[in-house]
Amino acid sequence: MSLRVMRTGLQTTIQDLGRNGSAHLGISGSGAADPFSLRSGNLLVGNHEGEAGLEMTLTGGKYQFEQDAIISLTGSYFLAELDGKDLPFHERVHITKGQIMNIGPSQDGARCYLTVQGGFDIEPVLGSRSTHLMTGMGGFRGRSLKQGDVIHLGGPSHDSAPKKINDDLKIDRSILRITRGIQHDWFDQRVWDILQNNSFKVSHIFDRMGIRVEGETIDTVKNDEVLTEGIPIGAVQIPANGQPIISFVDHQTTGGYPKIANVITADLCKVGQLKYQDEFRFEVVSMEEAESLRLAQESYFKDMRSSE
C-alpha cells in the first residue's frame, strides 16, 4: 500500500498545514506553500483538509501506485499524464494498482499538490507531518523525495467529497494585499507610494524560506537598527539594499530587518505560487479588510465541505 518514486521532481516534499507553537525552538511552521490548493485537494478526495500531501515545485516527477487509490491534483497546472493519457486537475481521479503518473513542468505558477484519499502514513513530528528542510525534520526522512523512495499510504476515508471543483479557478498573483508592518513608520509617504504604485519582480532567489524581489529601491527614514525580534510568515522586510524580502513558510524565526508590511493570510497562497520573473504589485488594506478576506476564503471551504 504505497507510492513509489520512479523519478523525482525539482523539489517534492510531504506537507500538511504546518506545525504551530515551535517558533520558540527556532523552528518555523513550515507547511504547504499554497495551503488553499492543499485544502481543496484534500476535500476533493474526502480527507480532512489538513491531511498531508505531496508538494511539487516547478516540475513533478514520475510515480507508480502500488495499490488502488483516489487522488486529486490541485494548484498550478503542470503537464500531467496517467499511463500516457492526460490527467485532469481539480477533480477526483480513481487510480488502479500499477498505474504510472508522470507530472512534467509547470504551465503556470510554482507549485502543484497531489492528495491521496487516506493521506500518507508519515509519523508526525511536533504535531505535523510537514517537511522542514532547514532542520531536516518531519515529512519523509526530513528531506525532498528521491528516486526509489517508497511512501506508504494511509487507510481509506469515508468522508463525503465533491467530485470536482471549478476548473477555471485561478488565483491572481499580480496583486499581493498587505497590512502595515511593525516598523511601518520608518518609511515615508514617498516609499508607500512606490510600494503601491510600482511593479516588483521575483528574483532568482525564491524558495520556501523567502522570496527576494526586485524593483525601485525602498529607503527608510531612520538609520537605527532593529533589535532582533520575531518574524511572522508573510513579513515584508527591507534589508540594506532596499529590495524587499517576503518571509515564507520555512522562514527564520527571528531577524533584524525593518518590516514595512505583512502579506495578509488570504494571499499567502499567492506567494506560494510566485516564481522567477513573475511581476506583481502590493496593495495596502486595513486589518478589518484583511480579516474579511480571510473569512471569505474560509466560507469557500465551508461551502466545499457541505457539497457532495
- 271, 263 in Cβ contact below 8 A? yes
Tell me the per-residue pLDDT of 150-162, one tens digit each, with 9 for 90 and over: 999 987 765 566 6
What domains can be seen in the chain, in order of their start residue? 2-152 (no CATH), 175-304 (2.40.100.10)
Q: What local confidence, expressed as pLDDT, does residue 159 receive?
A: 59
Determine the average pLDDT of the residues in 192-217: 95
Tell me the per-residue pLDDT of 226-278, one tens digit each, with 9 for 90 and over: 788 999 999 999 999 999 999 999 999 998 899 999 999 999 999 999 999 99
Amino acid at 95: I
Q: What local confidence, expressed as pLDDT, does residue 238 receive?
A: 94
- 46, 53 in Cβ contact below 8 A? no
Taking CA atoms, 55 is separated from 10, 12, 141, 193, 254, in Å, by: 11, 5, 15, 36, 26
Determine the average pLDDT of the residues in 21-25: 86
Contacts of 296 by beta carbon, 8 Å cutoff, 6+ apart? 266
Q: How many CB atoms lie within 10 A of CB 237?
A: 22
Give the closest residue to 57 by CA, choosing from 10, 103, 104.
10
State the cell numbers at 292: 474579511
Tell me the per-residue pLDDT of 89-107, one tens digit each, with 9 for 90 and over: 999 999 999 999 999 999 9
